[in-house]
Structure 1
């Protein structure tokens, strides 16, 4: 009987930890995810003021983007802060990585958290669901 109780309790703890891990809150809202087609339209529209587009991954592939480096590295978080320090808090900012599937990316969450902490009000994360090649380059969207 005691072994059954221990087994049941262990199963309960495992289920609770899985449930907790799946309910992890992202630092952005759904409305702060920009579709790649929307950003491509903005870049290609000469009457539109461009957002500040920041690569927080391996390279600044998107046309007009600035390279801050992988945000999973502390030195690159400092570089990101330097890029942002003189920007108005209302400036439209789009960050992207594209190194891997969006939900597994080690760079977008720390970078977005920096934007939130610095008090920006119009920041978005580019919704590259698979990677920069599939969701941007293969779509023939503008590149540097």
Structure 2
């Protein structure tokens, strides 16, 4: 009798384990399908695709002719010289970004940024960065704002667009 109850417990434990795994997989699939960007995907960029905030701030202090085209693909405040494209998680804003880049030579230095939240949670950078690369921009960079614009740019005193 004791062996039968141990077998029943093992059998029940296996059923619970399989059900837990199934529910977990269903939840992951629903999250991925419901969001514009699957956050489980690896980054589309490498370290050489990033530009550090200090480097961009230094460039902005130099001659205007050396400034890259800076595009804000989020809903945060504008860095000095940036053009706001709107949140790239929305198709109409990705279309707007694509239209902006269509007439720009492919060798132009372009910097895109969002800064709304950490890279791994941002719904805007992946669609914009992917589209820019698909269009053939070899000098396209993603501003390395791993936390948010306030911490990684504004708090350091880097230049912002004046609202005056």
Verify same fold: TM over 0.5: yes
2:39–2:120 Cα contact (<8 Å) kept: no
Q: Partner of 2:44 in structure 1? A: 27
More helix by share: 2
Tell me, which stretches of 5 or more residues in structure 1 are unaligned?
none
Distance 1:41 1:10, change over 3 A: farther
- Quote how far apart the aligned CAs of 1:71 are: 0.3
For the residues of structure 2 that align with 1:37 and 1:111, how far apart are their CA atoms?
22
- Quote how far apart the aligned CAs of 1:10 are: 5.5
- Where does 1:1-144 land on structure 2 (aligned, <5 Å)? 1-9=10-18, 24-46=41-63, 49-59=66-76, 61-144=78-161
Deviation string, structure 1 residues 16-43 (Cα, Å, up to 9, x no partner): x7xxx88632111121121110110111
1:52–1:65 Cα contact (<8 Å) kept: yes
- Quote how far apart the aligned CAs of 1:2 are: 2.5
With a CA cutoff of 8 Å and minimum separation of 6, indicate the structure with the bigger relative contact order. 1
- Give TM-score scaled by structure 2 length: 0.75
For the residues of structure 1 that align with 2:147 and 2:77, how far apart are their CA atoms?
17
For the residues of structure 1 that align with 2:100 and 2:39, how far apart are their CA atoms?
33
Residues paired across the two proteins, number: 140
SS in 1 for 2:156: coil
- Give TM-score scaled by structure 1 length: 0.84
Distance 1:117 1:138, change over 3 A: same
Structure number with greater Rg is 2
1:56–1:70 Cα contact (<8 Å) kept: yes
